[in-house]
Structures are given as structure tokens and as C-alpha cells.
Amino acid sequence: DIVMTQTPLSSPVTLGQPASISCRSSQSLVHSDGNTYLSWLQQRPGQPPRLLIYKISNRFSGVPDRFSGSGAGTDFTLKISRVEAEDVGVYYCMQATQLYTFGQGTKLEIK
């Protein structure tokens, strides 16, 4: 099984400031087809998860451009360039290279 580990588990951020969340996989997420199936999801309080980023760095439809993803192999990062109040919630990375597993989640909160 591929284990996904996120850091930090909690991230207090000032409005308008950047935020960054890291995700590390226990083995390379490069698929035999050459793609890397790493996505990021946001879960606002009381809501279902929402897809933000897929295949490391592709923003899903309707996702603001302040969200960006990067990384390769086993190390990945989600960045929010300027945090807004609506960004509060829990962020999950998910790998789809070998079945599907999620990180434990990172709680983004406003200072």
C-alpha cells in the first residue's frame, strides 16, 4: 500500500498571506504510463471534499488561480498564494497511481 503523509497537520495563516502544505508518498507516484496521479482536495467545514488539483499541478474547473500544485516522484506541495477566509478547511492529498489512498489531512485555519 502507498502511504501518504502530510505536513503540517495544522496550519494557522494570516489572511492575505501565503500557505503551503506538503505531501510525501511512501513510494514513487510515477505510473507506468508516465503520468503522476497526485491530486489535492479541499474540505470546507460541513461540506464534502472538492477537487482542487489533479496530476500534480492541473487546476480543476472553477478553482481560483491562487491555488497551485507542484512536485515530482514522492514529494508534492500545495500552495495558496494569498489565503482568503473561504479557504478555511482541511486539505487532503490523494494518490491514484496504485488504487487510491489519501493523506491524513491538513487543517488550514486563520490566525
Partner 1 sequence: QLQLQESGPGLVKPSETLSLTCTVSGGSISSSSYYWGWIRQPPGKGLEWIGSIYYSGSTYYNPSLKSRVTISVDTSKNQFSLKLSSVTAADTAVYYCARLDWSGADAFDIWGQGTMVTVSS
Summarize as ranges the residues that interact with partner 1 (CB under 8 A).
1, 35, 37, 39, 41, 48-51, 54-55, 58, 60, 92, 94, 96, 99-105
Based on the number of CB atoms within 10 Å of its own CB, is 53 exposed (0-12), middle (13-18) or buried (19 or more)?
A: buried
Least distance in angstroms from the C-beta of 18 to partner 1: 24
Cβ count within 10 A of residue 17: 12
Least distance in angstroms from the C-beta of 37 to partner 1: 5
Shortest CA distance to 111 belongs to which of 80, 78, 85? 85
Least distance in angstroms from the C-beta of 49 to partner 1: 6
Closest CB to partner 1 among residues 17, 35? 35
